[in-house]
Amino acid sequence: MFLSDPFGGNVLVTDYTGQVVKQISGEAGAWGLALSSDSRTLYVALRDAGAIAAIDTVTLQETARYDTGTGAGVYAGPTSLALAGGKIWFGYSTDTWHGALGSLDLSGAEPVVERGQGLDTFRGAPRLAAAPQDPDTLVAAESDGNYAALAVYDVSSGQADAQAKRVNPGPDGCASLQDLALAPDGGRVVVACASPYYHQAFRTADLSDDGRYTTSHYPNAVAISPDGTIAAGVDGAHSPDVHLFTPGDSAAFKTWDFPASSPYTTNTLQSAGLAWAPDDSRVFAVTKDSSSSSLTLQVLDHPQVATTVTVQEPASSPRNHELTLTGKLEAAVGFGAGNTVDIWRLDDPLAGEGTLIGSATVAADGTFRYTDRPKAKGDVQYTVQYAGDARHASAYGSAVVNITSD
C-alpha cells in the first residue's frame, strides 16, 4: 500500500496489515498517486515541487522526476493523477480561481508535457479517474468551489476531447466534491459530495443520472473494486463510516463504523480515504482521531456474503439420453468470471453421498448449465456445490429427476 502525505512531503509504504515498510521522504507536497499498468512504477503528483515523481515499487526509490511546468504550490502544482490514452494526466490549478488538465507522455525518447486543457470547465484543480478496461476515457471533477463540475474526455488522440460536461450534477446538485471513482468498465462514475447526503452515480456516455447509493451526512470518499463492488464513505461522527454496495443497489449490504478512543472523541474517515485490494479481499481506509489528530490505516477484511444455489431440472428424462441441468448462483456481491460449480449425482437418493461427475462454468451473471447421460432408472438426485471464495460463502442446491425407461 502507498499513502501520500502532502504536508509531511512523504510517501508512506505499508503492508496489507498496516505495518509500515518504508517512508519515502523528499516528496514535496505528495498528493495524488497512480500506478503503472505493470505495477512496477508509482507516479506521485508533487504539488509543492510542481512535478511528477516516479518511484520503483520494488526498490522503493525515486527513479525520475518530471517538471510539469505548472509552477509549484497550492494554486499551481499538480494534485491528481490518472493513466489514460498512453499518458499520465494530471489536474492542477492555474490560479486561485481556475483549474486545468495536463499530460505527461513518456513514450518517446524525451518526456513531453502538455498543459492548458479543460480551461473552460474547472474553477480549481480537478480530481481525475480512469479505468484500465476503458483506457481512452478520462473523467475529471472539480474539487474546489461550492458546485462541482464533472466532465468526461476521450483522450485516444492524445488530447482531452470533451464528450460530456455537467455543472452541479445530479437531481440535488453536488456541493464540495470530495472524491470520485470509475467503474472497472468505465461505464459509470460515482462521486462523493459533501451534499447531498448520498453518493451519486452518472453514466459516462452522457453524464446522465444513474442512481444513488444511500449513505449519510457528508459523503467524502468512494472506491470501486475490480468486481464492481462500491465502497462509499462519509465523514459522519454518529453513523456508519463505510458502506458496501453492489452496482445499482441503493441499499448497503455491509457497513463499518470506526470506534473512537473515548466517548468524547470521534474517529472519522478522511476525504478520498478509501482503496480496494486488487483481489477484492479487503478495503483500506484512512481515519483521523479527533483527540490527537493522528491518522490511522484501517484494514477492513471483506466479509463473505451468503450465497444461494438454485437448480432447474426436468421432472423426468429417458435413461441413456442427455439431460441438461441449469441453475444460478446468487449473492449480494457479484461473481465475475472464472468460477465453477461441482456436480454430484446420486443414483439412489436414499443411499450414499453420490459421485462427483463433473463441473460447470459459472457465467458472469451467475448462471450455469451441465449435461449428463444417466444410466440408472428411478429417482436420481443431482447436487450442485459451490465451494465459496474470499467474497462468497459456500452453498449447494439439489434437484431430483425421475429417469424412465429408454
**pLDDT digits 0-9 by tens, 348-405:** 766 667 899 999 999 988 999 999 999 888 999 999 999 988 778 899 999 999 999 8
- Strand ranges of the sheet holding 367-372, from the earlier edge strand across to the other edge: 307-312, 323-331, 367-372
Whether residue 82 sits in one domain with residue 105: yes
Question: Global pTM?
Answer: 0.82
Cβ 143 vs Cβ 130: under 8 Å: no
**Measured CA distances, 97 to 101, 124, 351 (Å):** 14, 6, 78
Whether residue 315 sits in one domain with residue 286: no
What confidence tier does 247 reach under pLDDT thresholds 50, 70, 90?
confident
Rounded CA-CA distance 217/58 in Å is: 40
User: Is pLDDT above 70 for 97?
Assistant: yes
Rounded CA-CA distance 232/240 in Å is: 10
First to last CA, the chain: 62
Whether residue 236 sits in one domain with residue 197: yes
What's the whole-number mean pLDDT along residues 147-162?
Answer: 95
Whether residue 314 sits in one domain with residue 268: no
The residue among 46 and 250 whose pLDDT is bigger is 46
What confidence tier does 211 reach under pLDDT thresholds 50, 70, 90?
very high
Q: What is the pLDDT of residue 312?
A: 93
Rounded CA-CA distance 215/218 in Å is: 9
State the DSSP string of 57-96. Answer: TTTTEEEEEEE-SS-SSTTTSEEEEEEETTEEEEEEEEET
Rounded CA-CA distance 147/239 in Å is: 25
Determine the structural domain holding residue 330 and report its residue range: 307-404
Amino acid sitting at position 310:
T
Whether residue 375 sits in one domain with residue 357: yes
Beta strands 339-346 and 378-386 are antiparallel
Q: What is the pLDDT of residue 130?
A: 97
Using a pLDDT cut of 70, give the percent of the chain over it. 99
Spatial CB neighbours of 38, under 8 Å, sequence gap ≥ 6: none
User: Is pLDDT above 80 for 5?
Assistant: yes
CATH of the domain at 367: 2.60.40.730
CATH of the domain at 218: 2.130.10.10
Whether residue 272 sits in one domain with residue 138: yes
Among 44-53, 272-281, 345-354, 359-368, the range scoring the smallest mean pLDDT is 345-354
Q: What is the pLDDT of residue 262?
A: 77
Q: What is the pLDDT of residue 144?
A: 67
Q: For 117, phi and psi rounded to 5 degrees? A: -105, 150
What confidence tier does 236 reach under pLDDT thresholds 50, 70, 90?
confident
Whether residue 131 sits in one domain with residue 33: yes
What confidence tier does 116 reach under pLDDT thresholds 50, 70, 90?
very high
What confidence tier does 143 reach under pLDDT thresholds 50, 70, 90?
confident
What's the whole-number mean pLDDT along residues 296-311?
Answer: 88
Question: Over the Cα atoms of the chain, what is R_g?
Answer: 25
Among 73-77, 202-206, 329-333, 335-339, the range scoring the smallest mean pLDDT is 335-339
Domain endpoint, select from 252, 273, 301:
301
Whether residue 382 sits in one domain with residue 249: no
Whether residue 393 sits in one domain with residue 286: no
Cβ 190 vs Cβ 224: under 8 Å: yes
CB atoms within 10 A of CB 106: 17
What confidence tier does 147 reach under pLDDT thresholds 50, 70, 90?
confident
State the DSSP string of 324-351. Answer: EEEEEEEESS---SSEEEEEEEESSTTS
What confidence tier does 249 reach under pLDDT thresholds 50, 70, 90?
confident
For 179-189, the pLDDT digits (tens) are: 999 999 999 99
Whether residue 317 sits in one domain with residue 296: no
Whether residue 252 sits in one domain with residue 374: no
Domain endpoint, select from 301, 316, 331:
301
DSSP for residue 259: P
Q: What is the pLDDT of residue 292?
A: 80
Of 231, 186, 188, 237, the residue nearest 211 (C-alpha): 188
Q: What is the pLDDT of residue 347?
A: 85
Using a pLDDT cut of 90, give the percent of the chain over it. 75
Domain endpoint, select from 272, 301, 330:
301
SS3 category, 383: strand
Residues in the chain: 406
Return mean pLDDT, the chain.
Answer: 92
Please name the residue that has the C-alpha cell 473512537.
Answer: 260
Whether residue 163 sits in one domain with residue 138: yes
Q: What is the pLDDT of residue 281?
A: 83
Please name the residue that has the C-alpha cell 490511522.
Answer: 296
Spatial CB neighbours of 263, under 8 Å, sequence gap ≥ 6: none
User: Is pLDDT above 80 for 46?
Assistant: yes
Q: What is the pLDDT of residue 146?
A: 76
Q: What is the pLDDT of residue 334?
A: 76
Q: What is the pLDDT of residue 145?
A: 65
The structural domain count of the chain equals: 2
| 151-189 residues labelled b (16+ CB within 10 A) or e (exposed) | bbbebeeeebeebbbbeebbeeebebbbbbbbbbebbbb
Q: What is the pLDDT of residue 149?
A: 93
